[in-house]
């Protein structure tokens, strides 16, 4: 991908080092700028600068773009998204690491970092390596907000010449079915306008995560996109997105905060 600015939060754990490597492989172009951002907590500024130097030497050999570093003070939850927005970053690529055996908690801190940012986040699990993005799965459900990630997913699909699968729960209630079909139609029309190849998959809502993972495996999905929002009547709650980030196939997850980008028109991605 060309002309990208990627922000990579770095706490010098293996997960953040993996995120840097993923970013380098994601776009090894001269026009790509990667900004490594460390929020000071336990380290001094000098120690963080030294670790940045070591990390750049270790990971950046052979990278054709530019790598810059930024050290800021405060809470990581408050600063990463704001900094990315200020820099007009294309993406934040963030590594997450397991602090507990409960999968649903793997993404809990990640959700705090993602909240209130307009910049799309790509989260990767520790140990995840980059693979070419040929197929993207995007979740859609009842809430209009569930398709707010479509603009970010479309941008990714355009640059990668990837196919986008729209995946929704198969509702039996006529009213719910109608709402889902409306959201699917709006999303697919937008993708058609952007000349992106897309198709729809309806799956049983019982054990939705398992069914989604089965589709990802059977159809060779390389990344999942989903909207993050705190309040919803659908199955795509904050807990769902946390579980998605810790999915057993270790697929990267592209997500945006719907609360921030949903102000204004009902489908802001159509007019922005």
What's the pLDDT score for residue 188?
Answer: 93
Above 60 in pLDDT, residue 86? Answer: yes
Residue 148: what pLDDT? 74
Strand order in the sheet with 33-40: 66-73, 33-40, 5-9, 91-96, 121-125, 253-257, 223-228, 135-140, 163-169, 198-203
- Please name the residue ranges forming H helices in the chain: 14-26, 45-59, 76-86, 103-106, 108-114, 150-160, 174-193, 208-218, 238-245, 258-261
User: Torsions phi, psi of 178, nearest 5?
Assistant: -65, -40
pLDDT tens for 91-114 read 999 998 765 334 444 445 677 788
Mean pLDDT value across residues 214-235:
81
Domain ranges of the chain: 5-125, 135-270
Asked if the 5-125 domain carries CATH number 3.90.1150.10, the reply is: no
pLDDT at residue 163 greater than cutoff 90:
yes
- Tell me which CATH homologous superfamily contains domain 135-270: HUPs (3.40.50.620)
Given this model, what pLDDT does residue 223 score? 98
Same fold, 5-125 and 135-270: yes
Place of tokens 């006529």: 174
Distance of CA 25 to the CA centre of its chain: 16
pLDDT reported for residue 77: 62
Convert the pLDDT of each residue in 25-54 to its tens digit: 999 999 999 999 988 877 788 888 898 888
Q: Do residues 97 and 15 touch, judged by C-beta distance below 8 A?
A: yes
Please give the pLDDT value at position 104. Answer: 42
> Which residues, at least 6 apart from 63, have a Cβ–Cβ distance to it below 8 Å?
24, 28, 34
């Amino acid at each position: 991908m060309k002309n990208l600015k990627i922000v990579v939060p770095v706490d010098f754990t293996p997960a953040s080092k993996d995120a840097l490597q993923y970013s380098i492989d994601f776009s090894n172009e001269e026009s790509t700028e990667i900004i490594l951002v460390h929020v000071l907590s336990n380290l001094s500024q000098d120690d963080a600068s030294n670790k940045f130097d070591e990390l750049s030497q270790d990971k950046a050999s052979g990278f054709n773009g530019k790598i810059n570093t930024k050290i800021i003070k405060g809470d990581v939850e408050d600063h990463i998204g704001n900094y990315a927005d200020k820099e007009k970053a294309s993406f934040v690529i963030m590594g997450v690491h397991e602090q507990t055996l409960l999968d649903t908690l793997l993404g809990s801190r990640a959700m705090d970092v993602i909240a209130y940012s307009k910049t799309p986040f790509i989260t990767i699990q520790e140990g995840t390596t980059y693979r070419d993005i040929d197929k993207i799965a995007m979740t859609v459900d009842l809430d209009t907000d569930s398709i707010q990630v479509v603009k970010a997913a479309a941008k990714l699909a355009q640059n990668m010449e990837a196919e986008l699968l729209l995946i929704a729960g198969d509702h039996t209630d006529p009213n719910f079915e109608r709402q889902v079909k409306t959201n699917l139609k709006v999303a697919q029309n937008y993708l058609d306008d952007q000349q992106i190849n897309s198709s729809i998959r309806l799956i049983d809502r019982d054990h939705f995560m398992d069914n989604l993972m089965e589709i990802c495996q059977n159809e060779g999905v390389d990344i999942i996109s989903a909207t993050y929002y705190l309040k919803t009547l659908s199955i795509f709650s904050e807990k769902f997105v946390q579980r998605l980030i810790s999915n057993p196939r270790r697929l990267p997850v592209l997500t945006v905060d719907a609360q921030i980008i949903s102000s204004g028109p009902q489908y802001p991605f159509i007019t922005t």
